[in-house]
Chain A
Amino acid sequence: MGVVLQGQAATNVEVPSAENQLQGSARSFLGYLSRNRQMIVGIVMLGGLVLFVVLGSLFYDTSKYKPLSVLPGRPPSAEYPLGTDQQGRDMLAVMIVGTPLTVRMGLMAGFIGVLIGTVLAFSAAYYGGWVDGLVRGVVDVGLTIPTFLVLIIVAISIHSAMTIEQMALVIAALAWLWPTRTIRAQVLTMRERAYVHVARLSGASSLKIIFFELMPNLLPYLAASLVAAVAAAVLASLGLEALGLGAVDSPTIGMTIYWVIFYGALLQGMWWWFLPPIIVVVVLFMGLFGLSAGLDEWANPRLRKQI
């Protein structure tokens, strides 16, 4: 911590004072960031992953992710930095192509989930009455049923081979339950704040209150629950794919794990086949958890003193 603070002081000296306001607020954000270590860990991990994918697709021949494009079963060497799998895929190319695919699935499902969750939560918390009763009932029942098992039934009911987008939609079908519950609780506490009462008394419409009074204050919280929803969606996609219920033709991280189990990579001692996807998953999840915890702290300043 001390080192970080020193670094902060050094940048303060270099930047001339009395700059425009934008730079000032950027600097205060950086100053805050240096105190929010979880957020730094999250951003560094995710940034590293982005860098890996961007540099990889610029400087590496990613067409070798296809089966039978290279010699199968080679350990890491100068020619194949991460080796090749048994079906003749270059593992480095698979990681460069597969990481964004897996993240895209998570982002799509997580985004849809939080969007639906936000709409439902606001309707429930703001209008109350039977709307609230219905939403709460559906969420209570839905959260009692283990999501992953329902996803298995959904995935198996779709007979044709799935695409990445279909996978994302399948996961999104249940990704809204948790955001709905947490956002609703948050809106309920905000609804009774003084500034909302003032707005209501001064004759603002419901929509205006929702979009101009509640939403801006909820934004950091929504961001945190989006990150958490993305992490949950990625986890669900990995699990479904490992069971063989994924997009079979896509070189995603989960499908790589499926092939590892299917072809018994362990039995053949091919550690370079299963270690790269696991490392990508760990970096991705640590990044998402860090970012989520960091955003949570930002949204909820009372957490700052604790822990």
Chain B
Amino acid sequence: MRLEYLIRRLVLFIVVVWVAATINFILPRLSGGNAIRSQLTQQAAAGGYVQGNIDAMVAEFDKEFGLDRPLWQQYLSYMWDISHLEFRFSMANYPMRVSTLMANALPWTLALLGISTAIAFGGGMLLGGVMAWPHTPKFFTRVLLPPLLTLSAVPYYMLGLVLLWVFAFQTHWFPIFGAYTPGTIPDWSDPEFIKDVGMHMVLPVLSIVLSAVGFWALGMRAMMVSVQNDDYVQFAEAKGLKGKTVFYRYAGRNALLPQVTALGLTIGYILSGALLVEIVFSYPGIGNVLYRSIKAYDYFAIEGIVFGVIVSITLATLMLDLLYPRIDPRINYGKS
């Protein structure tokens, strides 16, 4: 039974990746004309990244991708390339491959996203749980709720702009842009460098955490309120268990589960927000590469990045789904 669920979930994953790849293939071709030539011309007009050798590049691209062949052949060869993650050349950074661009940027994005989501999710759970707990002083919720609600109405990157202005420009507490001081040589064994990277990360992480923590706290608060009326929590209290035990092991443990589901559903939304945060802070992650590619009309890079990100998010959701029975032993996919 377990296997059946696993197969169904894997099929969904493959279908999603296939759909994403097909969208990537069809949409640019709907507009007609030679996409490469028009993109290269636009690019040359916009920024002068390419001078004179447009014809050579068009010929190179045409040969590489066989754009003179019938559409179905192009589709098949495109699918073959995609299937073993063979991305095309970047047009703005020719002959660099898009996969190289992404590989350089990915660690920064993963670090930013991982750290901020862990803090926001964990902090949100705790805050939400405490807010819903009947023994918590009333003023705690009253003081905390309005700012949390307000902050969660601000998109991450706009909050980033404000934080940047207050804490980098006005007070000079934190650096203004980038992932480390320009000019330093990345050396992960040097504690000074690690401290520098950490300082650069504070504001981007903070702008995601401050905005996201409200979302998780409010969700957790609602779950805790409904869990508290359940029989097992009242029984635990009647047994005379310590408040702390009831809070963490009875109410909190059970209220946590729907939140994990929510995490899986919103991971794409969080990532889209994080990409925009990177742009505000000139953080050298995927979002910044994407922003620069859009500015330079680097179509292949945009396509590759979007596809890569879609695949990684789908993969993350898949893993979360498969891990879910470990978090919630009651769930036993399909065993009925």
Contacts and interface: CB of A to CB of B under 8 A. Distances in A.
Interface string A144-164: 111111101110111100000
Interface of B: 12, 15-16, 19-20, 23-24, 27-28, 30-31, 38, 42, 149-150, 153-155, 157-158, 161-162, 164-165, 169, 176, 221-222, 225-226, 265, 268-269, 271-273, 276, 279-280, 290-291, 294-295, 299, 302-303, 306, 309-310, 313-314, 317
A266 B12 contact: no
Contacts of B150: 282, 286
A145 B307 CA distance: 10
A239 B278 CA distance: 13
29 contacts: A144-B16, A145-B20, A146-B269, A147-B268, A148-B268, A148-B269, A149-B268, A149-B309, A150-B20, A150-B310, A153-B302, A153-B306, A156-B294, A157-B27, A157-B28, A239-B273, A242-B276, A242-B279, A243-B276, A243-B291, A245-B294, A261-B279, A267-B176, A274-B162, A278-B162, A281-B158, A282-B153, A286-B149, A286-B153
Given A235-B155, A239-B276, 20 more contacts: A144-B317, A145-B310, A146-B310, A148-B272, A150-B23, A150-B310, A152-B302, A153-B24, A154-B27, A156-B302, A159-B38, A159-B42, A244-B291, A266-B169, A277-B158, A278-B154, A282-B154, A285-B154, A286-B153, A306-B225
Contacts of A165: none
Contacts of A307: 221-222, 225
B259 to A, nearest CB: 16
A140 interface: yes
B167 to A, nearest CB: 12
Nearest to A232: B269
Contacts of B303: 153
Contacts of A286: 149-150, 153
Listed from nearest, the 8 A-B pairs whose CB atoms lie closest are A146-B268, A148-B272, A285-B153, A157-B27, A286-B153, A278-B158, A149-B306, A144-B16
A238 interface: yes
A289 interface: yes
Contact of A159 (B15, B20, B31): B31
A153 B155 contact: no
A146 B221 CA distance: 27
A147 B299 CA distance: 19
Contacts of B16: 141, 144-145
B41 to A, nearest CB: 11
A255 to B, nearest CB: 14
Interface in A232-258: 235, 238-239, 242-245, 257
B290 A243 contact: yes
Interface of A: 140-141, 143-150, 152-154, 156-159, 235, 238-239, 242-245, 257, 260-261, 266-267, 269, 271, 274-275, 277-278, 281-282, 285-286, 289, 306-307
B271 A146 contact: yes
Contacts of B27: 153-154, 157
B116 to A, nearest CB: 17
Contact of B306 (A152, A235, A267, A289): A152
Given A157-B27, A306-B222, A244 B294 contact: yes
B313 to A, nearest CB: 5
A140 B268 contact: no
A293 B260 CA distance: 22
A260 B314 CA distance: 33
Contacts of A238: 155
Interface-centre pick from A152, A153, A260, A267 (highest chain B CB count, 10 A): A153
A62 B201 CA distance: 41
A149 B161 contact: no
Contacts of A147: 268
Contacts of A257: 157-158, 161
A158 B302 contact: no
Contacts of A158: 31
Nearest to B317: A144
Contacts of B268: 145-149
A289 B154 CA distance: 12
A272 B135 CA distance: 44
B63 to A, nearest CB: 24
A266 B23 contact: no
A159 B45 CA distance: 14
Contacts of B295: 244
A243 B279 contact: yes
Most buried by A among B15, B20, B225: B20
A148 B286 CA distance: 14
Contacts of A289: 149, 153
Contacts of A243: 276, 279, 290-291, 294
Contacts of B272: 146, 148-149, 239
Nearest to A238: B155
A218 B299 CA distance: 44
A289 B269 CA distance: 17
A242 B288 CA distance: 12
Contacts of A244: 291, 294-295
A243 B271 CA distance: 15
Nearest to B229: A306
